[in-house]
Amino acid sequence: MKLGDMKFEIDDGVYPPAEDTYLLLDAIEIDGTDSFLEVGCGAGLISMAAARVAKTVIAIDSSLDAIKNTARNFIANSVDGRSCVVQSDLLSALARDARFSVIAFNPPYLPEDGIVTEMDHVFVGGGSGVELTERFIQQAIPHLEKSGRIYIVVSTLADIERITNFMESQNLQVNVIAEAQFFFEAIRILKGRS
Ligand SMILES: C[S@@+](CC[C@H](N)C(=O)[O-])C[C@H]1O[C@@H](n2cnc3c(N)ncnc32)[C@H](O)[C@@H]1O
């Protein structure tokens, strides 16, 4: 996906788009036939780019600050007509019959370190860093259309093999479609196809 011109604000307490955001953005392939769901939308950059292309967009976050921030960015860019924002723990607030052709998540993936901070919800993915991602995969699959795609950001700081095995155990065909090396970690984009 491409960004193009857009008005974009980031509120305090909301994850500012970073290298992982842009790697995911570049890796996602969508067109006008797609129904797109982003879990963990943050300030909404990826969902906004999707809303310019896809048929429909739903952006979810558990953080009220993130939801308000994304909603304001949607309105500022006039993409609120075919997109909506939902505060939810992962996909739990969705109707059981809601289906998407593309589902994306740039999750918190760091392991707990015993130090609790106000930004844990954007960085910490559970005791070993992958628990939230696994819960996401479990919840996303029933909402994925036949031949749908799931895009997930993973880091070498977490257990990528465990996530890949879990996706495969859920009958997804998994590929690494992008990778970037940073000072202390490599970030990859996993694409799972149903
Ligand atoms: C690393 S940030 C990614 C933000 C944005 N998508 C981006 O790429 O810049 C992770 C986001 O997931 C959200 N999040 C964490 N736990 C969640 C949950 N259980 N359900 C929904 N969203 C969650 C956080 O609030 C945060 O906005």
Domain ranges of the chain: 19-193
- How does the average pLDDT of the chain come out, rounded? 94
Q: Cα separation of 125 and 62, whole Å?
A: 13
Percent of the chain residues topping a pLDDT of 90: 78
**What is the position in ligand 1's atom list of the atom closest to the CA of 38?**
6
**What is the position in ligand 1's atom list of the atom closest to the CA of 109?**
1
Strand order in the sheet with 35-39: 83-87, 56-61, 35-39, 100-105, 144-155, 186-193, 173-181
Taking a C-beta distance cutoff of 8 angstroms, is the pair 69, 43 a contact? Answer: yes
| pLDDT classification of 156: cutoffs 50, 70, 90 | very high
Which residues, judged by CB distance below 6 Å to any ligand atom, belong to the binding site of ligand 1? Answer: 15, 17, 21, 39-42, 45-46, 60-63, 66, 89-90, 106-108, 121-122, 132
Of all protein residues, the one whose alpha carbon is nearest to atom 2 of ligand 1 is: 122
Q: What sign results for the dihedral spanned by CA atoms 125, 181, 36, 60?
A: positive
Q: How far does the centroid of ligand 1 lie from the alpha carbon of residue 182, in Å? A: 21
The region that residue 129 occupies, defined by phi over 0 for left and psi between -120 and 50 for alpha, beta otherwise, is left
Q: How far does the centroid of ligand 1 lie from the alpha carbon of residue 147, in Å? A: 25
Residue 2 above 80 pLDDT?
A: no
SS3 category, 181? strand
**What is the position in ligand 1's atom list of the atom closest to the CA of 89?**
20
Its CATH architecture, for the domain 19-193, is 3-Layer(aba) Sandwich (3.40)
The number of residues making up the chain comes to 194
CA distances (Å), origin 24, targets 78, 95, 126, 171: 23, 26, 21, 22
Q: How far does the centroid of ligand 1 lie from the alpha carbon of residue 60, in Å? A: 8
Model pTM score: 0.96
**What is the position in ligand 1's atom list of the atom closest to the CA of 104?**
6
The more confident residue out of 164 and 6 is 164
| pLDDT classification of 69: cutoffs 50, 70, 90 | very high
| pLDDT classification of 104: cutoffs 50, 70, 90 | very high
